[in-house]
Amino acid sequence: MDEASLEHMLNAIRKKIPDFHWKTSSKYDNGKGVMLMEISFFDPTTNGNHGKLVYKSKTGELLNGWYKGLKTVERDLLVTDAILDIMNYEENELEGQ
């Protein structure tokens, strides 16, 4: 999975929604090519946790995830699909204000 593409997608959301904060971290590496990454979504002013996506770094296969206002993110998705779902959710939230 191209980390630069993920970062670009997440930063595109942040441009539209200044309160959108995220960070990535490595959660597991077995030394045999299986690395799990996590994207955390949060509010730095309240330390509120808005969601997490856990995915396989090499393939982008989503293993687990949730995001505020959305039900649990579908596991059969790629992480890029889940980020697009989050982008749509946030854009709908802006339109509803």
Q: Average pLDDT of 62-73?
A: 84
CA distances 77 to 30, 60, 83, 96, Å, are 23, 9, 10, 27
Element (H, E) at 43: strand 35-43
Residue among 82, 70, 71 nearest 39 (CA): 82
pLDDT bin (cut points 50, 70, 90) of residue 7 is: very high
Residues 28, 15 contacting (CB under 8 angstroms): no
Question: From the CB of residue 74, how many other CB atoms can be counted at a distance below 10 Å?
Answer: 12
Confidence (pTM): 0.86
Residue 34's pLDDT is 83
Q: What residue segments make up the domains of the chain, in order of their start?
A: 3-95
**CATH architecture for residues 3-95:** Roll (3.10)
